Structure 1
């Protein structure tokens, strides 16, 4: 299926043909590129930064649904060895959410730096054959009926043209792909002058994520598990530009104000100041170009859902592009359109939920404090309410609209059920659909399946009492079930 080739123009500019161009080598782009290359597509990953990773990272939490997706790629266990598992989230001083109730093998929040996620995904992408082009910037793009042409500048200012059937922008909140498409990024800043630090503590808090606020300030602390802690804080009375210097004493003062103690913070290895926006692009697909991750949506850091949502975008899009490039999708355009129809509502939901959390943390008027008290009481006392909140934050509660006539479980996350051939997540590591049937049954693929019978992984329920049949998508959601 690969269209790979090279052409040299008279002016010295080189055109490289590939199947898919991915712009942006953060977690979203790395997972997507690795998936595509593992399926046999020729993939070029374009990144402005030089090769190598930095530990200057804001993302630090990996939720249960993301860990499940990494498990289906054989990476979850290695990632879990890099961080610490939190089974409870403490919010607003008195609300404690029990993650141990999550219906998953990963009944926790994993605290680990983003660079650990990138390290594993980058190695996987390289092993799969992704072509990396570092120190390369996108200048513009154009589309036609057959593909996308990307105009780039490589190392030393060398001009380069890449030609592909599809292009995906995973290049962050300042996305050059989004700008080249002329798409708006409506929204506003939800919170300014947030300070961030990675520190060591003399007086270590309890081993759970700690969040508290006074209305005029808030602070949270999360352990990485290696002796370092991530601290984030905000002060309503100190709203300054991102460029304003920040030192450890400012971080200590914020912690004392919100938590009553700074826990003896010392030896900061990184301190920065930033602001957080709530924005979402109106279209995740424009012709042959797609947007994913922060290029498509940004929101407050509350709930730690940013990197997770981007990785889940990538998992949703990758198998659809693979099916189209293989020529196996009954309706290619409808399948590619479903990326937007499934993931745009999820991005909107994350904006709402993370925005609600940060606004409750910032509550300072009597009315908003009363609202926070009510929300805290309900979430703490009403089990269905807390389960729904945890499900949304963890990603386990996300589902998609069922396909017509595809069965009542269509669009739902498939649990990691035990099968005679192994766990479902282990079988999904092939990157293909998994067809689960009762013992002795040999069902045909439903007509709507964007794959071929030769590629499907066939499995049998371990429980002989189960008589249903289910076709599970490569991203772990049910495409079709017999009832």
Structure 2
């Protein structure tokens, strides 16, 4: 088959290119820029699940220690919430007591540089053709592929099996496909500065609501970066206030004085800007053999939501499906590829609805006033908790989505299904697992390739591998995994939240739980794996897909 064409070499386009190439899918990456932009104030905060997905692509040491040590939420002069994050090298369980996983905060140019470096290290570099300085001009589709014409130094026609538009908010691909992009403009505006200085909370991120020294700014956020650099964001009041250089410097001076006392500490100003947040959602994410991902498909960012988080989740969802369709052929791939829109558009739509519902009380004129003149203290505390959850990747504004209406599921739970601590369609818990070769790692480290079949077998760790591979359920389970219609890897775990011994879990390549079965059930395991690849009970699966799209408001 022809290569997959990806338009746009930002973080989402580069991550998708690398994910496909790792699956031996050839890619043509088209970009009208050169990839040389460097903006210290343009940074990204990644939740633990997307940070782990990025680490699988770039290697765990690509960014050094970019994690925060803690989070602090303040209102006026009072600290209302403090969260301690896990120290580097520890792997806390999501939702467990004690330190929680830290977000990853890094400059976007560092992220793109690391992804490009990994592309250069591919075992088969011929899998990727990178064409910079090429602007997409026209697009044609037929029954076997997509043709794209570009203009620029190397402008020509390109032929691909599939096309993914990762070309940002003004996506040319989206426009050429005739896909509408409705939504709201200028939901929030922030003045932004990147500066090198010393703050009283080294390593901690801070959300400061109603700072007492500022009459105009209802909220300030400080996020640390390495080498003493901080990104500061000031939420601007509604309207079209012009942020002049003098006004921004006054904000910096007032903020540093308010936090550190008079005289304010010295600082080195590295970059500034005004960040305007829009909320938009493309009506279609798939048009025949063409797809949209990242900012080309959705824009969000109010109340702490993170657009790049959702873009990388797009990558995790689409990459394994495109690779499976590319390797196995398009004959039965329609349901599999349709599931990308059904799952991801539904998830992002729910995120946008959650933010839009909260915005009137938190950010509207009345809500803005209540930030400073708290008539209902309980409401203010609720706003603090909501914003903290949004910033930390928890709750409706930040937690990973649950694909509970995926079309890649059987219409009814298979016989022998059991309940575990993870809902079907939710991200699997990151437990310690043992591979058949005896290596011990984390479940998240095994994602991104084949399906995972995980047997819960307490006490395995005290047995020599040569014994437990031939004992109990293992021979039958190994045979069942080998017979599955798609490639799968068999893993063992000592325990899984809420799971009884001998529970068998089926996990998708992007980490979502497909099924939990009591014991070895080859027929049921095969039916679930078949549904995951878009086969099997197509009628029930298609109904689930229609229900998911209806729920998304399509």
TM normalised by structure 1 equals 0.82
Q: Equivalent residue of 2:328, what SS?
A: coil
Residue 195 (structure 2) aligns with: 199
Identify the match of residue 108 of structure 2 among 98, 114, 119. 114
Bigger RCO (CA 8 Å, 6+ sep)? 1
Secondary structure at the aligned position of 2:303 is classed as coil
Q: Deviations over 1:244-300 (max 9, x none)?
A: 667641432673799797954632111112321111111111111111111111123
Q: Quick check: 1:50–1:135 contact (8 Å CA) kept in 2?
A: yes
Gaps in structure 2 of 5+ consecutive residues? 87-91, 458-471, 519-554
Q: Is structure 2 residue 431 aligned with structure 1 residue 433?
A: no
Matched with 2:93 is 103
What is the aligned partner in structure 2 of residue 395 from structure 1? 399
Counterpart of 2:284 in structure 1 is 283
Match of residue 425 from structure 2: 411
Q: 1:472 aligns with which of 507, 511, 515?
A: 507
Say whether residues 1:178 and 2:174 are aligned partners.
yes
CA distance 1:65–1:343, shift in 2 (3 Å):
same
Contact 1:246 1:273 in 2 (8 A): no
Tell me which residue corresponds to 2:29.
Answer: 45
Q: Quickly say closer, same or farther: Cα 1:198–1:82, change in 2 above 3 A.
A: same
Distance 1:77 1:56 in 2: 20
Instruction: Give the distance between the partners of 1:463 and 1:173, measured in 2 at CA.
Output: 44
Question: Which deviates more from structure 2 when the two are superposed, residues 315-324 or residues 84-93?
Answer: 84-93
Residue 303 of structure 2 contacts residue 391 of structure 2 at CA under 8 Å; is this kept in 1?
Answer: no
1:55-134 alignment to 2 at 5 Å? Answer: 55-56=39-40, 58-73=42-57, 75-79=59-63, 81-90=64-73, 92=75, 94-96=79-81, 98=83, 100=85, 103-104=93-94, 107-128=101-122, 129=125, 130-134=128-132
Distance (Å, rounded) in 2 between the aligned partners of 1:447 and 1:479:
18
Partner residue in 2 for 1:306: 307
Q: Is 1:72–1:425's contact at 8 Å kept on the other side of the alignment? A: no
> Whole-Å Cα distance in 1 between the matches of residues 333 and 197 of structure 2?
54
Task: Return the offset for 1:411.
Answer: 1.3
SS at match of 1:209: strand
Equivalenced residue count is: 458
The range that moved more, 146-155 or 429-438, is 429-438
Instruction: Give ranges in structure 1 of 5+ residues lacking alignment.
Output: 4-18
* Distance across 1 between alignment mates of 2:235 and 2:257: 10
SS in 2 for 1:85: coil
Q: Distance in 2 between matches of 1:427 and 1:206?
A: 30
Q: Is the 8 A contact 2:207 2:222 kept in 1?
A: yes
CA distance in 2 between counterparts of 1:221 and 1:63 reads 17
Label 1:281 to 1:428 Cα distance change in 2 as closer, same or farther (>3 A). same
**Matched residues in 2 for 1:132 and 1:283: separation?**
27
- Tell me the equivalent position of 2:134: 136
Which residue number corresponds to residue 34 of structure 1? 18
Q: Report the RMSD for the aligned CA atoms in angstroms.
A: 3.7
Q: For structure 1, which segment, 416-425 or 397-406, has the greater mean C-alpha deviation from structure 2 after superposition?
A: 397-406
Deviations 1:87-122 (A, max 9, x none): 325265554263649734971122221222222222
Question: Displacement, 1:440?
Answer: 3.0
CA distance in 1, matches of 2:10, 2:246: 26
Q: CA deviation at 1:240?
A: 3.9
Question: How far does residue 200 in structure 1 lie from its aligned partner after superposition?
Answer: 2.0
Tell me the CA shift for residue 306 of structure 1. 1.3
For 2:323 and 2:145, the matched residues in 1 are separated by: 15
Going from structure 1 to structure 2, the CA distance change for 1:187 and 1:237 (only over 3 Å counts) comes to closer
| In 1, Cα distance between equivalents of 2:261 and 2:237 | 19
Q: Which of 155, 162, 165 is matched with 2:158 structurally?
A: 162
> Distance in 2 between the 1:58 and 1:90 partners?
22
* Structure 2 length-normalised TM: 0.72
Which sits farther off after the overlay, 192-201 or 131-140? 192-201
Counterpart mapping for 1:321-470 below 5 A? 321-327=322-328, 331-355=332-356, 362=363, 364-365=365-366, 368-369=370-371, 373-378=377-382, 390-396=394-400, 398-401=402-405, 403-404=409-410, 405=413, 407=417, 409-421=423-435, 422-425=440-443, 428=446, 431-437=449-455, 440-441=473-474, 442-443=476-477, 452=486, 455-463=487-495, 466-470=501-505
Deviation at 1:58, TM superposition (A): 2.4
Q: Is the 8 A contact 1:147 1:163 kept in 2?
A: yes
Equivalent in the alignment of 1:252: 252
Q: Decide whether aligned partners of structure 1 residues 235 and 229 sit closer, same or farther in structure 2, where only a CA change above 3 A counts.
A: same
Q: What is the Cα deviation at residue 233 of structure 1?
A: 1.3
Deviations 1:372-396 (A, max 9, x none): 84345347799xx999972445534
Question: Which is worse superposed, 125-134 or 218-227?
Answer: 125-134
Residue 481 in structure 1 maps to residue 507 in structure 2: no
**SS in structure 2 of the partner of residue 78 of structure 1:** coil
In the superposition, relative to structure 1, how do residues 176 and 309 fare at CA in structure 2: closer, same or farther (>3 Å)?
Answer: same
**1:302 aligned counterpart, secondary structure:** helix
Say if 1:466 and 1:92 are closer, same or farther in 2 by CA, change over 3 A. farther
CA distance in structure 1 between the partners assigned to 2:269 and 2:392 by the alignment = 37
SS at match of 2:170: coil
